[in-house]
């Protein structure tokens, strides 16, 4: 059976909310009964720019036979995708399989950072997770692409990149704060201040931390999501150079004070500012995030919009409900074991 949706993404990294969103979308589509898989970003095979995920198995074997033995094994793992998670594992209970065949007639979903249509897909969805072109990719999208926006605050930016304006029906938002790792614990002492740079390297080069502040780089303490939660629960204040990051919400949920730096060097609380680069701070997010992470109620609306353009097979509803219930039970059990110190970092 063919895959209905193929979602382009780099290798999974917990440190990028955008990457997490792509894999989480795949999970929600699968649990809702729609066949979805991940397309790991194209790699050049050195002979014509063919994405390795579009190569046939025969062509992969032939290509491997031409390589020195000392590097063949390493390259084979990359070509087959078997080292896809070398730099970070997809959480065990996320249904986000990696696709190794051709794209065929599948609907390919690209984030805005991908220029053009590298897989030459017949049907393209463009999911704009940030401002078009800000972090890479095109600043305008072709009329034959079906464009969705993650953040309703970015609709105006997205509408400048399309010929026909889109509205709230094209907002594709999903919860990304994982309650298995991000939660408050007042019993944990606050022992340090942390800084966070991520997309704010330019601001960090211009503005130092507030006078007298000694902070540990959060990135150096957080090799995985479990470590991120542990570090944030021990942090008094998070000083962030990245104003548009999910980490800000995660820090507040874990009990941190949060300060961001503006374009003119002013450190302030992002929850009350009107900076254009600010994230959404909806009322009640400190508790609502738990249900939002598991909520796939956005899927029917998304499918309805897609069907205005292309045919989408009906979902496998009984299997979807069974899998969703099983995954919810497993996550609940693992979260409880983790908090009691009986389960490892990966949940």
pLDDT at 343 over 90: no
pLDDT digits (tens, 9 = 90+) for 195-206: 999 999 999 999
- Count the residues in the chain: 347
* Long-range pairs of 325-329 with CB within 8 A, sequence gap ≥ 24: 327/31, 327/93, 327/95, 328/294
Considering the entire predicted model, what is its pTM? Answer: 0.80
Two tokens, residue 172 = 């594709």
Sheet strand arrangement including 192-196: 216-217, 192-196, 235-240, 257-261, 267-268
Mean pLDDT of 9-25: 94
Sheet bearing 145-149, strands edge to edge: 36-40, 5-9, 107-111, 123-128, 145-149
What confidence score (pLDDT) does residue 286 get?
A: 95
Got the DSSP string for 77-133?
HHHHTTTTTTTSPPPTT---PBP-S--TTPEEEEETTS-S-TT--SEEEEEE-SSTT
- pLDDT number for residue 233: 98
64 pLDDT exceeds 90?
no
Give the residue-averaged pLDDT of 78-89. 44
Reported as a pLDDT band with limits 50, 70 and 90, residue 53 is very low
- Summarised one tens digit per residue, pLDDT across range 152-180 is 999 999 999 999 999 999 999 999 999 99
Decide: helix, strand or coil at residue 206: helix
Task: Give the least confident one: 70-84, 103-117, 131-145, 275-289.
Answer: 70-84
Q: What is the mean pLDDT of the chain?
A: 85
Both tokens of 262, joined, read 């503006």
DSSP readout, 12-30? --TT-HHHHHHHHHHHHHH
Helix (H, G, I), strand (E, B) or coil at 241: coil
Rounded CA gap, 81 and 265, in Å? 43
Share of the chain above pLDDT 90, in %: 71
CB atoms inside a 10 Å sphere around CB 202: 11
Q: How many Å apart are CA 92 and CA 245, to the nearest integer?
A: 24
How is the chain split into domains, by residue range? 5-174+296-315, 192-285
For residues 41 and 72, is the Cβ–Cβ distance under 8 A? no
Give the percent of the chain with pLDDT over 70.
Answer: 79
More confident residue, 81 or 105: 105
pLDDT of residue 185: 97
For 331, half-sphere exposure in the C-beta direction (CA atoms, 13 angstrom radius) is 19
Class of residue 58 by CB neighbours under 10 A (exposed 0-12, middle 13-18, buried 19+):
exposed
């Amino acid at each position: 059976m063919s895959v209905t949706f193929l979602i382009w993404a780099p290798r999974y990294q917990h440190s990028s909310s955008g990457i997490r969103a792509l894999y989480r979308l795949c999970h929600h589509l699968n649990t809702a009964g729609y066949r979805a898989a991940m397309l790991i970003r194209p790699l050049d095979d050195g002979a014509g720019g063919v994405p390795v995920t579009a190569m046939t198995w025969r062509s992969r074997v032939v290509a491997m036979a031409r390589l020195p033995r000392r590097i063949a094994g390493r390259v084979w793992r990359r070509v087959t995708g078997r080292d896809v998670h070398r730099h970070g594992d997809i959480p065990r209970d996320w249904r986000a399989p990696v696709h190794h065949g051709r794209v065929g007639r599948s609907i390919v979903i690209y984030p805005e950072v991908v220029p053009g249509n590298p897989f030459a897909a017949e049907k393209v969805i463009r999911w704009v997770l940030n401002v078009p072109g800000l972090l890479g990719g095109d600043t305008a999208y072709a009329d034959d692409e079906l464009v969705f926006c993650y953040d309703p605050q970015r609709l105006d930016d997205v509408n400048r990149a399309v010929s026909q304006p889109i509205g709230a029906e094209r907002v594709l938002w999903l919860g990304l704060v994982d309650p298995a790792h991000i939660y408050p614990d007042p019993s944990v002492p606050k022992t340090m201040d942390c800084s966070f740079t991520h997309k704010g390297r330019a601001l960090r080069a211009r503005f130092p931390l507030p006078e007298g502040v000694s902070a540990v780089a959060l990135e150096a303490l957080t090799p995985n999501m479990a470590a991120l939660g542990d570090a944030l629960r021990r942090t008094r204040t998070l000083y962030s150079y990245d104003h548009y990051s999910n980490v800000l919400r995660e820090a507040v949920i874990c009990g941190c004070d949060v300060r961001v730096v503006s374009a003119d060097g002013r450190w302030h609380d992002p929850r009350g500012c009107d900076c254009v680069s600010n994230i959404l701070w909806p009322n009640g997010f400190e508790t609502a995030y738990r249900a939002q992470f598991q909520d796939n109620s956005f899927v029917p609306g998304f499918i309805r919009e897609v069907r205005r353009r292309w045919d989408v097979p009906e979902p496998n509803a009984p299997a979807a409900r069974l899998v969703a219930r099983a995954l919810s039970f497993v996550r609940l059990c693992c979260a409880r074991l983790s908090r009691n110190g009986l389960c490892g970092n990966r949940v």
